[in-house]
C-alpha cells in the first residue's frame, strides 16, 4: 500500500492538526487552559479534520494526553483518523526507547496502532538507519504501525530513507510558508511529490507572523477574494498539493481555517503567489547536519524576521 492509497481509502481533510503548544511548549504549562484546548481539538475532529500528529517531547507528554482525551471525547472512529506519532531525539536515545514510546502512546490513546511512526533525520542518523529499519519492520509486522515518515530532512537523506522504505514511507514533514520556501528551493517538496510521498508542512502561517507583515500581494488578494490573509495562504499551499498542519485553540479560528477552501484562487493569482520573492531577502545557508554553520531548517520560521531585518539593514 502506498501513501497515495491512503488518500483513496481515507480521504484526508484539507488540513491536519498539529499539537505544538497543546498543554505547554517544551515544558507543561501549569496555567494552560486544558479544557479549552481539549474542546478545540474535539471541535476540529467533529468538523472532519482527520489527520493528527503529536510528539511526546511537546510539554513532556501533556500534548499526547490532551489529544487522547479529545479523541475519546469526540467519538471519532479510529479508522477514520490518520494518526502520526513523531519521535524526536529528546524522546529516545536507543531503539528500545522508541518502541517504548510507541507502546506508551497506544496504551494512552486506547488503540492497537498508529498509522505512521515519524522520525527526525537527526534521530535516524543518531541511532543508525539499520536500527531504524529493523524497528520499523518489526512495528509494521506486528501491526503497530502501517507506515513510517521523516521530518526535517535534507534532500540527500530523504532519498536514502525513501530507498530504504519504498512505499512504506508515507510523508516528509517540513516547514513551508509564504516567506520560508527553502524546502521547495532545495528540491525536497518536488522529490516527495514525484515519489508519492505526502508533503506535510508545518508553520504554514508562521504563527500569524506572516499576516502581521501585510505583504502587498496578500493584502491585494485578501481584498479581491474577501478572505483573510491566512485563508489565502492556506488555500495557496493546498493548491500546491501540500498538506498543512495547524494548531487552533478557538472554534472561530478553526472555522476560519476550514473556510479557506470554500473558494478557488484564479490560476494567474496562484502563479503570482508561486513566483513571489521577498524583496531584499537572501536565503541563508541551511545547517542540515548540525555543523553549527547556518540556520536549522525547522527553526528558520522562528528567526526569519530578525534575519530579514538584519539583511535589509546591511544592504
Instruction: Decide if pLDDT at 1 tops 90.
Output: no
- For residue 7, what are the contacts with CB-CB under 8 A and spacing of at least 6? 198
Task: Write out pLDDT tens, residues 278-302.
Answer: 999 999 999 999 999 999 999 999 9
Q: pLDDT category, 243, cuts 50, 70, 90? A: very high
H helices within 47-194, ranges in order?
A: 62-74, 95-109, 121-127, 129-141, 155-165, 182-185, 188-194
User: Of 212, 208, 188, 207, nearest to 198 (Cα)?
Assistant: 188
Locate 198 and state its grid cell. Answer: 505526502
Kindly tell me the burial class for residue 266, based on how many C-beta atoms sit within 10 Å of its own C-beta (0-12, 13-18, 19 or more): exposed
pTM for the predicted model, two decimal places: 0.96
| Cα–Cα distance for residue pair 19/48, rounded to 1 Å | 17
| Cβ–Cβ < 8 Å for 199, 193 | yes
Segment holding 147, helix H or strand E: strand 145-151
Segment holding 268, helix H or strand E: helix 267-275
CATH code that applies to domain 3-277:
3.20.20.100
User: Of 110, 100, 116, nearest to 51 (Cα)?
Assistant: 116
Domain ranges of the chain: 3-277
| Cβ–Cβ < 8 Å for 38, 70 | yes
| Cα–Cα distance for residue pair 117/170, rounded to 1 Å | 9
Mean pLDDT of the chain: 96
Locate 270 and state its grid cell. Answer: 496562484
User: Of 191, 139, 190, nearest to 168 (Cα)?
Assistant: 139
Locate 282 and state its grid cell. Answer: 537572501
Kindly tell me the burial class for residue 136, based on how many C-beta atoms sit within 10 Å of its own C-beta (0-12, 13-18, 19 or more): buried
Segment holding 43, helix H or strand E: helix 34-46
Task: Write out pLDDT tens, residues 77-91.
Answer: 999 999 999 999 999
Segment holding 42, helix H or strand E: helix 34-46
| Cα–Cα distance for residue pair 240/191, rounded to 1 Å | 13
Mean pLDDT of 227-244: 98
Mean pLDDT of 97-106: 98
| Cα–Cα distance for residue pair 183/187, rounded to 1 Å | 6
pLDDT at 249: 87
Sign of CA dihedral 63, 68, 69, 71: positive
Task: Write out pLDDT tens, residues 194-213.
Answer: 999 999 999 999 999 999 99
| Cα–Cα distance for residue pair 204/217, rounded to 1 Å | 17
Task: Write out pLDDT tens, residues 16-25.
Answer: 999 999 999 9
pLDDT at 315: 77
pLDDT at 8: 43
Instruction: Decide if pLDDT at 164 tops 80.
Output: yes
Mean pLDDT of 11-35: 97
| Cα–Cα distance for residue pair 121/149, rounded to 1 Å | 10
Q: pLDDT category, 6, cuts 50, 70, 90? A: low
Amino acid at each position: 500500500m502506498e501513501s497515495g492509497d491512503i488518500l483513496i481509502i481515507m480521504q484526508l481533510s484539507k488540513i491536519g492538526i498539529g499539537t505544538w503548544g497543546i498543554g505547554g511548549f517544551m515544558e507543561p504549562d501549569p496555567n494552560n487552559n486544558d479544557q479549552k484546548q481539549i474542546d478545540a481539538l474535539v471541535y476540529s475532529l467533529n468538523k472532519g479534520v482527520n489527520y493528527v500528529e503529536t510528539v511526546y517531547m511537546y510539554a513532556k507528554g501533556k500534548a499526547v494526553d490532551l489529544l487522547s482525551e479529545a479523541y475519546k471525547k469526540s467519538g471519532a472512529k479510529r479508522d477514520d483518523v490518520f494518526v502520526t506519532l513523531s519521535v524526536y531525539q529528546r524522546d529516545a536515545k536507543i531503539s528500545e526507547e522508541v518502541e517504548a514510546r510507541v507502546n506508551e502512546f497506544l496504551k494512552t490513546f486506547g488503540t492497537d496502532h498508529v498509522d505512521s511512526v515519524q522520525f527526525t533525520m537527526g534521530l535516524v542518523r543518531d541511532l543508525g538507519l539499520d536500527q531504524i529499519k529493523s524497528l520499523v519492520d518489526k512495528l509494521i509486522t506486528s501491526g503497530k504501525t502501517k507506515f513510517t515518515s521523516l521530518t526535517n530532512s535534507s534532500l540527500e537523506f530523504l532519498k536514502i530513507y525513501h530507498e530504504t522504505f519504498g512505499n512504506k514511507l508515507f510523508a516528509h514533514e517540513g516547514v513551508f510558508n509564504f516567506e520560508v520556501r527553502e524546502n521547495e528551493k532545495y528540491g525536497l517538496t518536488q522529490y516527495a511529490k514525484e515519489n508519492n510521498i505526502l508533503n506535510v508542512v508545518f508553520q504554514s502561517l508562521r504563527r500569524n507572523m506572516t499576516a502581521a507583515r501585510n505583504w502587498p500581494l496578500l493584502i491585494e488578494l485578501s481584498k479581491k477574494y474577501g478572505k483573510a490573509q491566512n485563508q489565502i495562504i492556506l488555500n495557496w499551499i493546498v493548491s500546491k498539493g501540500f498538506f498543512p498542519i495547524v494548531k487552533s485553540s478557538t472554534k472561530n479560528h478553526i472555522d476560519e481555517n476550514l473556510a479557506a477552501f470554500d473558494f478557488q484562487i484564479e490560476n494567474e493569482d496562484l502563479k503570482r503567489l508561486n513566483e513571489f520573492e521577498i524583496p531584499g531577502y537572501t536565503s541563508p545557508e541551511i545547517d542540515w547536519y548540525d555543523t553549527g554553520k547556518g540556520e536549522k531548517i525547522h527553526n528558520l520560521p522562528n528567526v526569519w524576521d530578525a534575519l530579514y531585518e538584519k539583511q535589509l539593514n546591511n544592504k
